[in-house]
A and B are shown apart, each in its own frame.
Chain A
């Protein structure tokens, strides 16, 4: 769980080109971190690739904070195991 959050934080940091220490659990991607929708799509694709899961496009609007992103990843990781 902690590892998942750290890994996803690192993925986000690389894509938005910020230090991972700037990305805290509840910081808003768009307002606080200067992200745009294309970066969100890249984050989604990077998570899919790393965990070999498929996240449907309607979940894209859920990727607004690290916490929400981890929750979406967890949901599809759980589906994969089931």
Chain B
């Protein structure tokens, strides 16, 4: 399990764009299960939509992508202190149910194909056991 401090040691994203609160399962290269708590205090609910708060699908994709970064985490590379940049290259997802304030997203990521410097992952997002989104994302990783 990773708490928010441990997550920040791996992910480069920060407030207001860190879309994962806790990691409950981390097997690099095999499986990641991450949690994102959705609160009405999130800034985007102010505009999306006034009086009808719904979490933007684009941000659910961001939570999926950040969870996928964790899937590629390698302690060896981290120890080598390499600076890595992550690029999302393709997204194929279906949104099944809307996400509201108070929901807890459970994001499960598994590899379809991981190679050096790139990957494709399948992702399922659930809120309280109900599927809200599923799909596949592709990404590349550049070392700078």
Contact = CB atoms under 8 A, between A and B. Distances in A.
Interface in B89-144: 89-90, 112-113, 115-116, 118-120, 138, 140
Interface residues of B, number: 11
Interface of A: 37-38, 41-42, 44-45, 48-49, 57, 60
A45 B112 contact: yes
Contacts, number: 25
Decide if the interface of chain A is mainly helix, strand, loop or mixed: helix
Contacts of A41: 113, 115, 118-120, 138
A63 to B, nearest CB: 12
Contact of B90 (A42, A44, A48, A49): A42
Contacts of B138: 38, 41-42
B141 to A, nearest CB: 11
A62 B112 CA distance: 20
Contacts of A38: 89-90, 118, 138, 140
Identify the 7 closest CB pairs spanning chains A and B, nearest first: A57-B115, A45-B113, A38-B89, A45-B120, A45-B112, A41-B118, A38-B138
Contact of A48 (B113, B116, B119, B140): B113
A49 B138 CA distance: 15
A48 to B, nearest CB: 7
Interface in B15-32: none
Nearest to B119: A41
Nearest to A39: B90
18 contacts: A37-B118, A37-B140, A38-B89, A38-B118, A38-B138, A38-B140, A41-B113, A41-B119, A41-B120, A41-B138, A42-B120, A42-B138, A45-B112, A45-B113, A45-B120, A48-B113, A49-B112, A57-B115
